[in-house]
Structure 1
Amino acid sequence: MSEVEQRSEQPESGEKTAAAEGYLYALDKQEAVELRQWWRRLVMDQPELKRYTKQWPYPRGVRAALRRCDSISSVMLTEAFRHLWQALEERAWQEAPPKPPRDQRLTTWAVVAAVASELRAETFDAPLGKRLGEKRPNTADTPRMSDLRFQQLLDCHTPEELIRRFRRALKLAENAGVSVVRLADMVALWEREQRGQYRTKAPQRFAFVMSDAYFQARALKPAAGD
């Protein structure tokens, strides 16, 4: 099995085409399923994609165009975003609880699309914070992202700033080893909080969830021989 296949592997107990993380802070399961299906078609080639679906990958230029976008308005005009939004509107929102206003959903999912397009390979259920707190290869105690940069990551104030900082964070994570669903869930949670919609319990809020995963990874000792 290739490295990409290992990182994209789903739990044995779930269907490959319908697997979603068990607990999410801002997305529902159907949104997570639709997002992962869209992401796979965006980044996988046909031999790998057929392990999960009979659908074909999007043309290579679709992802490239999305990755060049640095504003919400430009993301919304891309073919990649139109595919994601159509799937969400037609399926994920059906028979679901009431959703935020359409303009808010558009903004949230535009940021999700811009950020998720940077991820090349994923690890199921792996949070971004944990990946950033992991030790860099061939170092004794240097995380992939420094504590200072991580604090800056938590202090985003606009969707465009979040896109920039999350893209940089994913680059430090080698654009792999993170769950695309967990990644999107943090974007959606941040967006909610920007509108003043905080979870009641502090441990379920953006800064805590990100920091908890990051500092737990920072606390891990490197294995012998690393």
Structure 2
Amino acid sequence: MGQARPGPVQGARPRRPGGREDPQEGGMSGPVPPETGTVPRDRRALARRWWQRLPPGRAGLPEPLLFDRGSRARLRRAHGPVDILDEPVVFALHRELGFGPQGADRTLIPVAVAACVLARIRTDAPGRGLASVLGRAKDGPQALLSPLRLKRLLTARDPDDLLRQMRRAVDLAGDRPVDVGGLAVTLLDWLDPDAGDRARSRFAYDYYAAEYATPGRPAGAASEAVFPAV
């Protein structure tokens, strides 16, 4: 008589061929997939890293790591965010920020808006917020962005309108350095139903606080204590 096969060890989970636990019994059938639809807290650094890959390149990146030569021009020419949803460079930013398929119907359009606006910035200066650059400096000339245009910008809720208004604002800044990472976070939050009011409030605060900024202090630092970065 043959010996009876030993039964499963008490408390052990059944396994599929290949040694993988049966998911129906509470185990995993493979590697745990990365969580998608969430954004890491270092969004500024991630957006800046993407921007540095736009031609002609920044931070000494070798040419093989740069996006194709026409990518920046196509982002600058786009009439609206929907026009560039077929651009690999937009999906590269989407992935860089940690977004995935889950929730892409909500995240891809704001990312496309951010890509178009960031493509117009010529020089990055961490801590130098766009709103502070556009506001009237203490004892300086009038603001680059008029209060009326600021009001129009703050009322923008539609992606196409936000893109038009922000492009105009960046163009008014000209060659002045702007915080690429900070602007990316502002744009991503602007259209978010939960974070939008906070983003607009911070932008307005930085615009008017520029007149009272301490000389030598980085522009945009005024609001850090009031609106800590998220």
Which TM-score tier does this pair reach, normalised by the shorter chain? 0.5 to 0.7
Write out per-residue CA displacement over residues 128-177 of structure 1, whole angstroms, 9 at most, x where no aligned residue.
Answer: 111111449xx943111111111111111310010011000001111542
Query: Quick one: distance in 1 between partners of 2:79 and 2:51?
Result: 19
Report the TM-score when normalising by structure 2.
0.67
Q: Which runs of 5+ in 1 are unaligned?
A: 1-25
Amino acid at match of 1:119: I
Kept in 2, the 8 Å contact 1:121–1:177? The answer is yes
Higher relative contact order structure (alpha carbons within 8 Å, sequence separation ≥ 6):
1
The aligned residue for residue 14 of structure 2 is none
Identity of aligned residues (%): 26
Report the TM-score when normalising by structure 1.
0.68
* Aligned with 1:124 (options 106, 123, 126): 126
Write out per-residue CA displacement over residues 16-74 of structure 1, whole angstroms, 9 at most, x where no aligned residue.
Answer: xxxxxxxxxx96334333321110010444xx432x67863223211101111122221
Query: Quick one: distance in 2 between partners of 1:218 and 1:157?
Result: 27
Equivalences for 1:42-121 in 2 at 5 Å?
A: 42-45=54-57, 48-50=58-60, 56-88=65-97, 92-93=98-99, 101-121=103-123
Kept in 2, the 8 Å contact 1:144–1:173? The answer is yes
Aligned Cα root-mean-square deviation (Å): 3.0
Q: Which runs of 5+ in 2 are unaligned?
A: 1-37, 217-230
The aligned residue for residue 13 of structure 1 is none
The aligned residue for residue 215 of structure 1 is 208
Query: Quick one: distance in 1 between partners of 2:141 and 2:160?
Result: 32
Deviation at 1:210, TM superposition (A): 0.7
Q: Structure 1 residues 113 and 147, CA, compared in 2 at 3 Å: closer, same or farther? A: same
Q: Structure 1 residues 129 and 75, CA, compared in 2 at 3 Å: closer, same or farther? A: same
Pick the structure with more helix per residue: 1
Q: Structure 1 residues 152 and 27, CA, compared in 2 at 3 Å: closer, same or farther? A: farther
Kept in 2, the 8 Å contact 1:170–1:176? The answer is no
Q: Which has the higher Rg, Structure 1 or Structure 2?
A: 2
Write out per-residue CA displacement over residues 89-139 of structure 1, whole angstroms, 9 at most, x where no aligned residue.
Answer: xxx359xxxx97221011121111111111111111222111111449xx9
Q: Structure 1 residues 215 and 189, CA, compared in 2 at 3 Å: closer, same or farther? A: same
Kept in 1, the 8 Å contact 2:157–2:191? The answer is no
Q: Structure 1 residues 153 and 214, CA, compared in 2 at 3 Å: closer, same or farther? A: same
